[in-house]
Structure 1
């Protein structure tokens, strides 16, 4: 059944300008940023009630923390959230995505990121998405399979 509300999005990124760009693209896509964080510690301090549908997570974060640890925490606190790593070094994401659901490599264009948001939004609201998967999004097989069942 289609969801009538916008997606709730968590952004975990320690580069302020990039976080603002991602926030702008999420909002321009009709969704809502429920929280932003720059490190694992900030994600730990977030209210569990934010309950994100989608999280964009950088791999190298502030205060010596990393996206893999953030992914594990998100899986524990908000188990239904779709987690997309956003990183300049996609080779650092394990082949099994470490519990995440995909990767978008930096740098990316606004159009490419917006296409990924649109694709993920369709997949979350009325799976499977009616549009093709954008080339800049490497999606985990488990994500694609969950939308076709």
Structure 2
């Protein structure tokens, strides 16, 4: 998978990036604010975005998740501010509470790779709270955008 990290704490982002690559995925970028994140989402194919709720420019992570959805990317909130995640998850697949462990991120990456490839993925891994609104399979519009942009085969 091609993964984008949207996180304003560079220590956290710098720790998360190597976990992504060690798990066999491609890190396509880091963004610390909404404008940078949306620009990356529009400029490159992203399969999955890890998005903090609070970024350098404020509580803009929710808007980044919405932009990810518009670009056909799946998104997961990574936050210590669970209460700031909208009840409908703003279209995110789920959330991971901070602090999280390498094992939780690796398991979530494996789960999401399976799910985005149309496989059941099994039960959600420990530490990942799936959105009750996330469909069993990506929406047809998102799937077709991924296919047009050279994304995962669904």
Does the pair score TM above 0.5? Answer: yes
Do the aligned partners of 1:40 and 1:65 also contact (CA within 8 Å) in 2?
no
Give the number of equivalent residue pairs. 138
Q: CA-atom RMSD, angstroms?
A: 1.7
Report how far residue 144 of structure 1 moved: 5.0
Q: Which runs of 5+ in 1 are unaligned?
A: 1-6
Report how far residue 143 of structure 1 moved: 2.8
* Distance in 1, Cα, partners of 2:37 & 2:107: 26
Among residues 79, 87, 97, which one is paired with 2:79 in the alignment?
87
* Distance in 1, Cα, partners of 2:114 & 2:129: 16
Q: Which residue of 1 aligns with 2:46?
A: 52
* Distance in 2, Cα, partners of 1:62 & 1:56: 15
Do the aligned partners of 1:115 and 1:134 also contact (CA within 8 Å) in 2?
yes
Report how far residue 101 of structure 1 moved: 1.3
Do the aligned partners of 1:11 and 1:55 also contact (CA within 8 Å) in 2?
yes
Q: Which residue of 2 aligns with 1:97?
A: 89
Moved more, 117-126 or 51-60: 117-126
* Distance in 2, Cα, partners of 1:71 & 1:14: 15
Among residues 8, 19, 30, which one is paired with 1:25 in the alignment?
19
Q: What is the 5 A alignment of 1:60-79?
A: 60-76=54-70, 78=71
Q: Which runs of 5+ in 2 are unaligned?
A: 139-154
Under a length normalisation based on structure 1, what TM-score does the superposition of the two structures give?
Answer: 0.84
Report how far residue 48 of structure 1 moved: 2.5
Q: Which residue of 1 aligns with 2:129?
A: 138
